[in-house]
């Protein structure tokens, strides 16, 4: 409470009791007899009053605190103060390494569920954890480091595979009581090497995975982002490279329609020069928009598009009334939330909804009948869920692969799956590109300046990324670790664990 004490005098002078928006700030606006409510830091005197009151009357009914104690604070503020500072069971001081590790695991599991995380960290508050996490994100953002340690990704996917083999799925957290061994704080080292932004290593390559050969998209996305991108959370992404964010779906998709030639059929990339410095171009150049072009020729209007089997969205861009409830709001870990946001069958932006027509979403029946739901589940659950979803979607596509609706070759199926996570509202283009251009390790020596990587018909700016020394080799063994598909091969994990040198911590 040193801070409170120190601020006592200051606060009494600085924080007046005449704050104009107090009533709005505290829902209900209970001023208890018209006493103006105070805002700002608490004084020790106020703390004492609150502690005394709670000691006598217990927690709850916070608005009564102000009424009965004369404290010029709204109930909301009282609750917050008590919960975050005055509770006797609070643990003060910095997080221990064990706690930090636990937070990371919990965040991978739960996402920004601070309260739930706090429930698993005795003596810690949601606010504390949130502040810690946000600070940590900033720090790692600045350092260009991934947010989640690779072993968490490995663990998640390994368990995914294991559970698939067992055929046991559960959406409950208790499924993973020991999500990661607490004593396994040491991360296998990852040696990042230069990765040429070769379009053969771009999503087309990622997507050219034999049908049914390996895990479905979620795992690949997981690793693509978890291992290669430092940008997992939407908020994180939204603040990191504003200039690269997709400015608007309108521009993106009008661009796709108007400016991008349907060039995917020959494996090349569309010409979209106007998006050169935009995530949409990156997204296109990464190929995620490629199957848009399968359906979207330059003279296609959205209304002329067909409904992809399994899609909830009518292709005229109207919001689907049958949008599955889980699609409306997903509560996913930061790893997941980014992914999931890309994959939402319906995006919050109406203008994006035309995308929905191109994004294959799981049939409602399937969703409803599925035991797995990304809501309130953790990373693994979401992975499993999405894997199932993708499988179901693939199945549907296979069944209806007549060519009228979707002209699918096997790779296209994968591409469709990849697109499923391609909600342009979230910076998929950015993140997808980030996997290969921004956050794929590049040579320290050769990347002093942003690199322009020439691709068929478009250029992608490759940002400097310093992952440490680079030995100058571009051999496949170096590159392969950047390939999520490789990472998902069932036998790769052990090798990976032994080979990679972490840039974590």
Partner DNA sequence: AAACCTAACAACCGCACGTAA
Partner DNA sequence: CTTACGTGCGGTTGTTAGGTT
Chain positions contacting DNA, by CB under 7 A: 3-4, 6-7, 10, 14, 19, 21-22, 24-28, 30, 38-42, 59-63, 75-77, 79-81, 83-85, 94, 112-116, 126-128, 130-132, 134-136, 138-139, 142, 235
> For residue 447, what are the CA distances in angstroms to 111, 266, 444, 475?
33, 31, 5, 18
Nearer to DNA, 8 or 412 (CB): 8
Closest CA to 505 of 94, 97, 117: 97
The one-character DSSP state at 287 is T
> CA–CA separation, 129 vs 126, rounded Å?
5
Nearer to DNA, 143 or 211 (CB): 143
Q: Give the count of beta carbons closer than 10 Å to the beta carbon of residue 236.
A: 18
For the CB of residue 149, give the shortest distance to DNA in the complex, in Å: 18
Nearer to DNA, 115 or 410 (CB): 115
For the CB of residue 15, give the shortest distance to DNA in the complex, in Å: 7
For the CB of residue 20, give the shortest distance to DNA in the complex, in Å: 8
Nearer to DNA, 236 or 436 (CB): 236
Q: Give the count of beta carbons closer than 10 Å to the beta carbon of residue 205.
A: 16
> CA–CA separation, 484 vs 151, rounded Å?
14
Q: Which residues pair with 454 in a beta bridge?
A: 459
Nearer to DNA, 113 or 312 (CB): 113
Q: Give the count of beta carbons closer than 10 Å to the beta carbon of residue 491.
A: 7
Q: How would DSSP label each residue in 174-207?
A: GG-TTSS-TT--PPPP---------TTTSHHHHH
Q: How would DSSP label each residue in 295-354?
A: H--TT--GGGPPPPTT--S-TTSPPPTT--HHHH-----HHHHHHHHHH-SS-SSGGGHH
For the CB of residue 52, give the shortest distance to DNA in the complex, in Å: 17
Nearer to DNA, 58 or 167 (CB): 58
Torsion angle defined by CA atoms of residues 86, 87, 88 and 94, in that order, rounded to the nearest 10 degrees: -80
Nearer to DNA, 112 or 462 (CB): 112
For the CB of residue 50, give the shortest distance to DNA in the complex, in Å: 11
Rg of the chain on CA atoms, in Å: 25
Torsion angle defined by CA atoms of residues 42, 82, 114 and 94, in that order, rounded to the nearest 10 degrees: 70
> CA–CA separation, 155 vs 95, rounded Å?
23
Nearer to DNA, 138 or 495 (CB): 138
CA atoms within 13 A on the CB side of 112: 16
For the CB of residue 441, give the shortest distance to DNA in the complex, in Å: 21
For the CB of residue 72, give the shortest distance to DNA in the complex, in Å: 10
Name the strand (E) or helix (H) holding 452.
strand 451-455
For the CB of residue 75, give the shortest distance to DNA in the complex, in Å: 5
For the CB of residue 242, give the shortest distance to DNA in the complex, in Å: 13
Name the strand (E) or helix (H) holding 458.
strand 458-462
Nearer to DNA, 248 or 411 (CB): 248
């Amino acid at each position: 409470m040193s801070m409170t004490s120190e601020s006592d005098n200051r606060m009494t002078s600085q924080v007046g009791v005449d704050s104009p928006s107090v009533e709005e700030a505290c829902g209900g606006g209970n001023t208890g007899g018209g006493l103006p409510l105070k805002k700002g830091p608490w004084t020790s005197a106020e703390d004492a009053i609150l502690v005394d009151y709670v000691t006598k009357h217990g927690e709850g009914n916070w608005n009564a605190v102000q009424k009965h104690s004369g404290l010029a604070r709204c109930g909301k503020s009282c609750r917050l103060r008590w919960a975050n500072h005055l509770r006797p069971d609070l643990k003060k001081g910095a997080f221990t390494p064990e706690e930090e590790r636990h937070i990371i695991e919990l965040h991978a599991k739960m996402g920004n569920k601070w309260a739930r995380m706090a429930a698993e960290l005795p003596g810690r508050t949601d606010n504390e954890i949130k502040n810690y996490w946000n600070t940590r994100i900033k720090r790692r953002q600045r350092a260009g480091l991934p947010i989640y340690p690779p072993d968490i990704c490995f663990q998640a996917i390994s368990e995914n595979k294991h559970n698939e083999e067992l055929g046991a799925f559960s959406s409950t957290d208790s499924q993973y009581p020991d999500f990661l061994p607490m004593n396994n704080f040491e991360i296998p080292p990852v040696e990042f090497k230069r990765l040429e932004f070769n379009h053969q290593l771009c999503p087309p390559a990622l997507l050219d995975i034999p049908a049914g050969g390996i895990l479905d998209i979620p795992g690949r996305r997981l690793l693509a982002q978890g291992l290669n991108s430092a940008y997992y959370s939407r908020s994180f992404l939204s603040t990191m490279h504003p200039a690269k964010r997709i400015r608007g779906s309108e521009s993106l998709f009008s661009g796709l329609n108007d400016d991008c030639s349907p060039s995917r059929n020959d494996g090349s990339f569309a010409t979209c020069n106007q998006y050169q410095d935009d995530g949409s171009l990156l997204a296109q150049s990464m190929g995620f928009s490629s199957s848009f072009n399968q359906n979207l020729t330059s003279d296609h209007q959205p209304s002329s598009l067909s409904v992809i089997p399994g899609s909830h969205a009518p292709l005229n861009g109207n919001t689907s009334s049958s949008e599955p409830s889980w699609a409306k709001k997903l509560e996913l870990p930061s790893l997941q939330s980014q992914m999931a946001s890309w994959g939402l069958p319906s995006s919050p932006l109406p203008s994006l909804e035309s995308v929905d027509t191109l994004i294959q979403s799981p049939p409602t029946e399937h969703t409803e009948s599925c035991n797995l739901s990304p809501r309130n589940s953790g990373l693994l659950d979401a992975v499993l869920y999405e894997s199932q979803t993708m499988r179901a979607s693939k199945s549907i596509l296979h069944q209806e692969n007549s060519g009228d609706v979707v002209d699918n070759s096997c790779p296209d199926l994968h591409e469709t799956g990849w697109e499923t996570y391609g909600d342009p509202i979230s910076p998929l283009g950015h993140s997808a590109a980030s996997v290969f251009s921004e956050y794929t390790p590049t040579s320290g020596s050769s990347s002093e300046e942003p690199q322009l990587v020439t691709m068929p018909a478009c250029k992608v700016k490759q940002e400097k990324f310093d992952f440490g020394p680079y030995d100058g080799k571009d051999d496949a063994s170096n590159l392969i670790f950047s390939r999520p598909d490789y990472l998902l091969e069932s036998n790769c994990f052990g090798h990976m664990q032994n080979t990679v040198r972490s840039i974590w911590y």
